[in-house]
Amino acid sequence: MEDLSHFIDGKRAAGRSGRFADVFNPATGEVQARVPLASAAELSAAVESAKAAQIGWGATNPQRRARVMMEFVRLLNRDMDKLAEALSREHGKTLPDAKGDIQRGLEVAEFCIGAPHLLKGEFSDSAGPGIDMYSMRQPLGVVAGITPFNFPAMIPMWKMCPALACGNAFILKPSERDPSVPLMLAELMQEAGLPNGVLQVVNGDKEAVDAILDHPDVMGVGFVGSTPIAAYIYERASAAGKRAQCFGGAKNHMIVMPDADMDQAADALVGAGYGAAGERCMAISVAVPVGDATADALVEKLIPRIEKLKVGPYTAGTDVDYGPLVTAEAKKRVLGYVEKGIEEGADLVVDGRDFQLQGYEDGFFVGPHLFDRVTRDMAIYREEIFGPVLSTVRAATYEDALAHAMDHEYGNGTAIFTRDGDTARDFANRINIGMVGINVPIPVPLAYHTFGGWKRSGFGDLNQHGPDAFRFYTRTKTVTARWPSGLKEGGEFHFKQMD
């Protein structure tokens, strides 16, 4: 069994707290490693070291910082297969899905190569007699990212790459369930030329999280995870005067109009609902067909596609559709929701409860499930399941379908499938959800746009990656300057009106 570590001051460092967490192989259920859980004192020491290192890094010109990002991208491409295998081994994703996880993080690193342009301030010549005004975007100092298990490469890069490009030092607290890839990313960033101490990886649990939130030298915190924890982190960080950007849960609806291409819609739902075993905050977990005829046609298309899904370990080949859930607790929770859905009266039209994979009986695999005739009052509709379970909610009209998505407490992502441009434009304009797909099932924006949900899916007023990330990880300083030719009239004791 492998003993993992932290990454402190440019190298791996053993934990000193004496506390550890098990890291499982989700396919077999076996413990394959253990990761140290940092104490508050260890976290504080990492912050102090980062604070000292940030001074020089913040003073490094943006072009040189961008060159580190450029080299980091090259190294990510070089080590793509190695990173993907480590990710799949701890998370359970298929190898193609693991590579997609890394690729979407890599694209943010590519965007951050443009930091010199994104960090330019503004200038006003002759704002008054002999007076110039200009603004500068400067780093916050030490910032932190608390990232989830479901994207152990992508989301750490979404946080750390813009933060570092802006001149901050960064404390990464990754999920203790799959910590190897974040450690590998830190090593690649170091190889790319990042100075010692500028990026620290501190593994831990709630003790480390609270230490981040309470440390006076951590100036900003980014988080992705469940809504209750997102709300907790946002409130505690904000109360401590920190800038906070916290993203929570989701219940993403896909409206299917009567004029939609049903084969296209069914294919999109299967990929968006069951990919990565449903462990995605942008997974489509609710299909909302408009009209019973549309619902009957859609369910008829879905059933054979879902029944043909290949579930297995990443080692079984690239034709595996999805792998296991991340832990035994996750499997138990998802199957508990399935039982609750049956109890509440939903029709379970594809039943994956008896799924068994020969040779992997102790793994955390869950077969695909499809519910029909789900209603708003059911727990499987209200709550995020985070597993391979798709619910079909039948809507009588377009307005009814729209209301389902708009009235839900979550507002992360949504989609509509239709051939009608007017309906699509109306949907995009009216929906109160942060990311919208039109005939696109998982509308994750590319790196040069921003990612973020509304309502109980997002806390804070700036999104992840894109231009918002550079706003979040910097603060604006405005300078008013006058260079007189000499003091002719003595001192002034009142505000001078600008002409």
Give the 3-state secondary structure of residue 325: coil
pLDDT at 129: 87
148 secondary structure, DSSP code: -
pLDDT at 128: 87
Domain 2-248+457-479 sits in CATH at: 3.40.605.10
Please report, for residues 402, 456, 463, the alpha-carbon distance to residue 434 in angstroms, rounded to integers and kept in the order given: 15, 11, 10
The strand ranges marked E within 158-289 are 169-173, 199-201, 218-224, 243-247, 252-256, 284-289
How far is it, in rounded angstroms, from Cα 230 to Cα 247? Answer: 6
> Active-site residues: which are they?
281
User: Amino acid identity of 258?
Assistant: P
Query: What tokens were used for 136?
Result: 């500068």
Domain ranges within the chain, ordered by starting residue: 2-248+457-479, 252-438
pLDDT at 493: 65
How far is it, in rounded angstroms, from Cα 23 to Cα 244? Answer: 29
CB-based contact 263:424 (threshold 8 Å): no
Query: What tokens were used for 343?
Result: 């109890």
By the 10 Å C-beta count (0-12 exposed, 13-18 middle, 19+ buried), 72 is classed as buried
pLDDT at 428: 98
- Return the half-sphere exposure (C-beta side, CA atoms, 13 A cut-off) of residue 65: 29
- Cα-Cα-Cα-Cα torsion 203, 209, 212, 215, nearest 10 degrees, comes to -130
**pTM of the predicted structure, to 2 decimals:** 0.94
pLDDT at 300: 98
Q: Which CATH superfamily is domain 252-438 in?
A: Aldehyde Dehydrogenase; Chain A, domain 2 (3.40.309.10)
As a three-state string, the secondary structure of 437-489 is: EECCCCCCCCCCCCECCEECCEECCCCECHHHHHHHCEEEEEEEEECCCCCCC
CB-based contact 71:104 (threshold 8 Å): no
pLDDT at 498: 52
pLDDT at 176: 98
pLDDT tens for the 499 residues of the chain, in order: 899 999 999 999 999 999 999 999 999 999 999 999 999 999 999 999 999 999 999 999 999 999 999 999 999 999 999 999 999 999 999 999 999 999 999 999 999 999 999 999 999 998 888 899 999 999 999 999 999 999 999 999 999 999 999 999 999 999 999 999 999 999 999 999 999 999 999 999 999 999 999 999 999 999 999 999 999 999 999 999 999 999 999 999 999 999 999 999 999 999 999 999 999 999 999 999 999 999 999 999 999 999 999 999 999 999 999 999 999 999 999 999 999 999 999 999 999 999 999 999 999 999 999 999 999 999 999 999 999 999 999 999 999 999 999 999 999 999 999 999 999 999 999 999 999 999 999 999 999 999 999 999 999 989 999 999 999 999 999 999 998 766 556 666 666 665 5
CB-based contact 43:60 (threshold 8 Å): no
